[in-house]
Amino acid sequence: MTTTADRLARLVAPVADELAVAVYDIEDVSGTLRVLLDRPGGVDVDTLSDASRRISRSMDEDGSFASASLLEVSSPGLERKLRTPEHLQGAVGEQVKVKLRPGVDGDRRLEGTLSAADDHAITVTPEGGEPRTVPIDDITSARTVFVWEAAPKPGKGAQAAKGAKGQRGARGAAVTAPTTTDTDEPDLDEEAEGTP
């Protein structure tokens, strides 16, 4: 049986190709259709807006989607859900949190580096601990964990802060507008001094 997410995936694929982005995930959650798009270096807000308009237009033309459906188009963000074996394989080397189904041997919560993943199992290595391999079928939820870098020490300059800000923007959909100074504007203090 074809699901709503499957039907939406067929409409999203050509839009993603045209915009040179990858479809990370598509979910149908309580009437909200979530489309997550990604590319190396992240996806900017303009691309997400363009994708949203194109996908919405395709859904209207298709006519098989409920008019009450809400469409959300975004990037996976800094901390991504890992729902498929492909998601898990793509996150090897990253920090993850994994929750296992009730009844498994050992702790049900794992946190550490995802050191290996294939179509059937993953291995998580906690900091200073022993690696643990678990079947994918035992996972109830998994996500990446973004590790914030320590703030630069006072007096170390703005370069370290700039680097952390740029890194955040590269992983998520955040876009930082450059600060500009308009030199044609008169200085308010100078204008006040010149006024009798």
**Domains held by the chain: number:** 2
Which of residues 74, 100, 120 is at a domain's end? 74
Average pLDDT over residues 5-26: 94
DSSP string, 93-149: TSEEEEEE-TT-SS-SEEEEEEEEE-SSEEEEE-TTS--EEEEGGGEEEEEE---PP
Do 97 and 116 share a domain, yes or no?
yes
Please give the residue range of the domain that contains residue 36: 4-74
122 and 96: one domain?
yes
pTM for this predicted structure: 0.65
Give tens-digit pLDDT for 93-119.
999 999 999 999 989 999 999 999 999
Tell me whether residue 161 is in a domain. no
186 in any annotated domain: no
Residue 100 sits in a domain whose CATH number is 2.30.30.100
* pLDDT tens string 173-185: 333 223 233 333 3
Residues 123 and 94 in one domain: yes
